[in-house]
Amino acid sequence: MGTIRNIWRVNLKDCIFCNLDPSRIEKENTYALSFKDLYPVTKGHTLFIPKRHVQSFFDLNSNEKEAIFELLELEREKLIQQDSLITGFNIGINDGPDAGQTVMHCHVHLIPRRNGDMSDPRGGVRGVIPEKQSYLRNN
């Protein structure tokens, strides 16, 4: 793998993902790359980003989306082979500050889940608004 600066079309000096240490890259293809989250929710938590600096998932082109999802599927297969305790995944994108995005470079989270890693996982990504996670509390 080349240095990150050689693969970026746009490199913003203040973007931590545009200036990612190349040694952190796990996989890459023409338009995207993946690396482990520095603050993982669970073991194996991986991020997938476009090589081009784009803030919103909705501004990605079709090549970038396809490239991200290709890496996401490869990582899922690898994690399942490495850890037989993985029984599910959360896939998430925080798009915009009000959705919780703190790094303004589009990134997709793949979060492996294991039986018992929380007392009641029902509602999954609905937990971004805790009082809405349980379907029972929404009646």
Catalytic site residue 107? yes
Concatenating the DSSP letter of every residue in 111-126 gives EEEETTSSS--TTGGG
Q: How many Å from the N-terminal Cα to the C-terminal Cα in the chain?
A: 52
Distances (CA, A) of 51 to 16, 71, 120, 132: 12, 13, 36, 34
58 membership: H or E segment, kind and range: none
Active-site choice (53, 105, 107, 109) = 107
Strands of the sheet containing 25-28, edge to edge, are: 25-28, 32-36, 46-50, 108-114, 86-92
68 membership: H or E segment, kind and range: helix 62-82
Catalytic residue IDs: 107
